[in-house]
Structure 1
Amino acid sequence: MIASPVVRLSAAAALALLPAIAHAAPPKTPHVERLVLLMRHGVRAPLGGEVPPTTRTGQPWPRWDAPAEQVTPHGAAALQALAKADRRWFAAAGLLPANGCPDPAALRLWTNSSPRTIASGESYAAGFAPGCTLTVGHKPVGENDPIFEPLGAHPAPFDARRAVESIDRFTGGAEALTRRHAAGLALLEQVLACPNGPCSPVEPSAVQPSADGHGIDFRGPIRAASGTAQVLMLQYLEGLPLAQVGWGRATPARLEALGAVHGALFDVFSRPPYMAAFQMAPTVDRITQDLTGADAPKIDVLIGHDTNVAALAAVLGVPVKAPGFATNDPSPGGGIAIALVRAPNGRQAVRLWYRSQSATDMRAARDSAVWTPLRLKGCDEGPEHRCALPQFLKRMELATAPARG
């Protein structure tokens, strides 16, 4: 057997390698004139009924310390850490100073009117500017805010039958959607591990207009399993001991795979073109005002739900993917950033990112964020993936036209 030679580098030779390593450094933060960030609220306790009551398991579910549906103390800490990372990015982009209390005219925080989104805004503000009093705006608790829940405002043009037709075209039908996620549904059964399966409720897949005609009713395996998959991911993000996350059977890799089952819900409620138009029309109006209005703030942070992020991604025609999450499964705290920049010719343009924490960083409440550039098909100029502002605004207008009568 011949021993491998030992390679020793002189200090000079080692330094000579540094230029080859330098390219791995993160790209320089761009100069930004204005930015809109539409993000999901933070890690929360399970919603009431999120796991269908007829779902069976081999062992009892772990208990949560936080009230149902509310952001947990750990979720608040993760949001504060994320806000610190955002503050550094915004400062590097020239949007505001790195330290001190931001000018109230430069930063606007607006949340949906649910307690968990309001609490998310307050946690984000505390991390963004510790010791400062930042206003977190929202409508009165429980009052509908069309920016985040437009169908709850019962828009007159909405036609539930046309919505179902759009959903069927987009998915190929509810049964086809279920078949596409057969592997994920089977994996969920393995994690639930109930005796004498199946564990999740079994019923035919169907999408139909709601009884009042103002929305969509969706039932079947995806509907039943989506919330269950989300609760398992929330256990991990909350920092529960791994032996309690899916009873020790929901590894990070399995949770990422199960996220596709949760994300499939948005293939019905958020991504079909007709649904995306109605889910996004008021939000698109807000974004347009932010990018063009003379009195708009430099930064507008909108804190809502995963349905909002999924619908905006659909309107823009881009995927969203955070490390540790399935593609098109919006992560807690994750959001789409729309930045107003200048092209080399001096004209206004837009750049897009999906800004998120990784699942492991969220679990640790680590001060970190990932900014993933997004490319708009047909409007992707240069290595920075710019889209001219007029063209960008026109795309959003056309994508939401069905909701405008």
Structure 2
Amino acid sequence: MTVRAILAVLALLIPAAAHSAHTTPSDLVTERVVLVMRHGIRAPLEGEVPEGTRSERPWPVWSVAQSVVTPHGERALEIVAETDRRLLASRGLLDAAGCPKAGSASIVANTSPRAIASAVAYVRGFAPQCDLKVLHLEEPQADPIFEPLRAKATAFNADAAVADINRSTGGMARLVARDRKELALLNGVLGCGRDDCLPPAIATRGHDIALSGPIRSASGIAQVLLLQYLEGMPAEQVGWGRIDAAGLQRLGRLHADLFTVYTRPPYMAAHQASALGRRILDTLDHGPAFELLMGHDTNVTALAAALGVDLRAEGYATNDVPPGGAILIERLRDVRSGLRYVRASYRTQSPEALRELGAQVSLTPLRIPGCAKGPCRYDAFAAAFAQRLAK
């Protein structure tokens, strides 16, 4: 090739490369959005405070049955849905008010009553008095989007999973040693008058994986204490008045340990985010303008792990997803070049906002590995993300 020919090729390549490198948000318009969200504030699950846990005084009584989303939780979902609608309107995706155009919005929930009730409450805030249906399978079906292990949606191997969990965490003994200060704090809140208020062991089985010991016991108790605060219980009832918001954030590390085991190791993330990830890509490719997938904290943390990001928000331990917390994924188009990009954010409300039913919302950018400081090229993202999902 002659020097003139080489220079001609470079003249074609350099502007395109420079344009790609300097694409800014002002050049981009949002084409589609997927929101993967945890359900709202609920009463404790059955066994979330394990049998055998000792405490100085009885636990506070909730206004609803076990695992049910509370009226306070429903109102918080309505409020955050209103702010989400305004956000989507600011992106030019939907009108700020009124009913979304037919086919422009989709609301999908897991089969659990708390997920369905949360989605219904969200619709009340997002599109009040509109005929926007919540789509879901009927119990006892397992929806592979939200419960891939129970649905046996992938070729999951329990032995391979346990080996990868041990590689990623260093083993349960290491987690216990790392969190000894938080475990001591939890024992102090329980106030049972003994060195260890937790039951000596508890096991749960899920697709042939069992986790037992202090981490499994403590994770649920830490979550129940946080839920008391978010529900707006009087301060003297939240941990019997022995803990404040800062202490609850510290204890959140114990709850996040559950995801350190069940969703964040690479093997677990690949299987836990399998059908969910493919649903996201399918929607971003040719779905409605907006889709909400209302599930559980395991769904949000599994997606984060598959994306290769940690979830950090005001008032919460890293990777401890609060009720109503969500990952927002946008497909974007550069109006000048026509190239498509993807951008991810973590949308949450602080503990105080949830407790007081405030409208303040945080939207934290998520830096996906392999991307520059700005959005990722969509085709490269989709190919890399799909490879991380199990079959």
Q: 2:346 aligns with which of 335, 345, 354?
A: 354
Shift of 1:398: 1.7
| 1:322/1:358 contact within 8 Å kept | yes
In the alignment, what sits opposite 2:177?
179
From 381, 384, 387, the counterpart of 2:376: 387
C-alpha distance in 2 between matches for 1:142 and 1:29: 47
CA RMSD of aligned residues (A): 1.8
1:198 to 196, 199, 221: 196
**Aligned match of 2:158:** 160
Is residue 333 of structure 2 the alignment partner of residue 342 of structure 1? Answer: yes
Q: 1:28: how far off?
A: 8.8
Per-residue CA deviations over 1:211-270 (Å, capped at 9, x if unaligned) read xx9331000100000000000000000000111100111200000010010000011110
1:367-386 to 2 correspondence within 5 Å?
Answer: 367-381=359-373, 385-386=374-375
1:216 to 198, 201, 209: 209
Q: Which residue of 2 aligns with 1:12?
A: none
Alpha-carbon separation, structure 1, partners of 2:102 and 2:164: 42
| Change beyond 3 A, Cα 1:387–1:28 | closer
> Is the 2:28–2:333 Cα contact (8 Å) retained in structure 1?
no
Alignment partner, residue 91 of structure 1: 89
1:35 aligns with 2:33: yes
CA contact (8 A) 2:230 2:352 kept: yes
Partner of 1:9 in structure 2? none
Distance apart, 1:179 and its partner CA: 1.2
* Residues 1:285 and 2:278 are matched in the alignment: yes
Counterpart of 2:322 in structure 1 is 331
Q: Could you say what secondary structure the match of 1:32 adopts?
A: strand
Determine which of 111, 133, 136 is the counterpart of 1:135.
133
SS in 1 for 2:149: helix
Query: Are the counterparts in 2 of residues 222 and 261 from structure 1 also a CA contact under 8 Å?
Result: yes
Q: Which residue of 1 aligns with 2:295?
A: 304
Match of 2:248 in 1: 255
Q: CA deviation at 1:359?
A: 0.9
Assess, with a 3 A threshold, how the Cα gap between structure 1 residues 149 and 247 changes in structure 2: closer, same or farther: same
Matching of residues 219-258 of structure 1 within 5 Å: 219-258=212-251
- Look up the match of 1:266: 259
Q: How many residues align?
A: 366
User: Partner of 2:49 in structure 1?
Assistant: 51
Question: Tell me, what secondary structure is at the counterpart of 1:110?
Answer: strand
- The one-letter code of the counterpart of 1:315 is A
Q: Deviations over 1:5-50 (max 9, x none)?
A: xxxxxxxxxxxxxxxxxxxxxx999731100000000000000110
How far apart in 1 are the matches of 2:266 and 2:154? 18
| Distance in 2, Cα, partners of 1:266 & 1:215 | 17
CA deviations on 1:184-219 (whole Å, 9 max, x unpaired) are 111111111112331112349x99xx6xx9331000
Q: Distance in 2 between matches of 1:73 and 1:214?
A: 33
Q: Which one of the candidate residues 137, 150, 161 is aligned to 2:148?
A: 150
Residue identity in the other structure for 2:188: Q
Structure 2 CA distance for aligned equivalents of residues 247 and 257 of structure 1: 17
Q: What whole-Å deviation, never above 9, does each CA across 1:100-147 have from its counterpart, x for those lacking one?
A: 111131100000000000000000000111222211110013321000
Contact 1:290 1:297 in 2 (8 A): yes
Gaps of 5+ in 2: 1-24
In 2, the alpha carbon distance for the partners of 1:186 and 1:35 equals 42
2-structure distance, mates of 1:62, 1:29: 53
Q: Residue 108 of structure 1 aligns with which residue?
A: 106
TM-score (norm 2): 0.90
Structure-2 residue corresponding to 1:3? none
CA contact (8 A) 2:144 2:152 kept: no
SS class of match (2:57): coil
State the AA in 2 paired with 1:300: E
Structure 2 residue 386 is matched with structure 1 residue 397: yes
State the identity %: 48
Q: What residue identity is the alignment partner of 1:87?
A: R
Cα distance in 1 for residues equivalent to 2:280 and 2:225: 33
Partner of 1:5: none
CA 1:180–1:375 in 2, change beyond 3 Å: closer, same or farther? Answer: same
Q: 1:156: how far off?
A: 5.5
* Counterpart position of 1:320: 311
Unaligned runs of 5+ in 1: 1-26
CA distance in 1, matches of 2:194, 2:97: 59
- What amino acid sits opposite 2:252 in the alignment? G
Q: Which runs of 4+ in 1 moved over 4 A?
A: 27-30
Offset at residue 399 of structure 1 (A): 1.1
**Which residue type is aligned with residue 327 of structure 1?**
T
| 1:383-403 residue CA offsets vs partner (Å, 9 max, x unmatched) | xx2011111112211211xx2
Query: How big is the shift at 1:158?
Result: 1.0
Query: Where does residue 17 of structure 1 map in the other structure?
Result: none
1:370–1:29 distance in 2 versus 1, CA, 3 Å: farther
- Provide the rounded CA distance (Å) in 2 between the counterparts of 1:225 and 1:327: 17
Alpha-carbon distance between aligned partners in 2 of 1:30 and 1:79, rounded to the nearest angstrom? 29
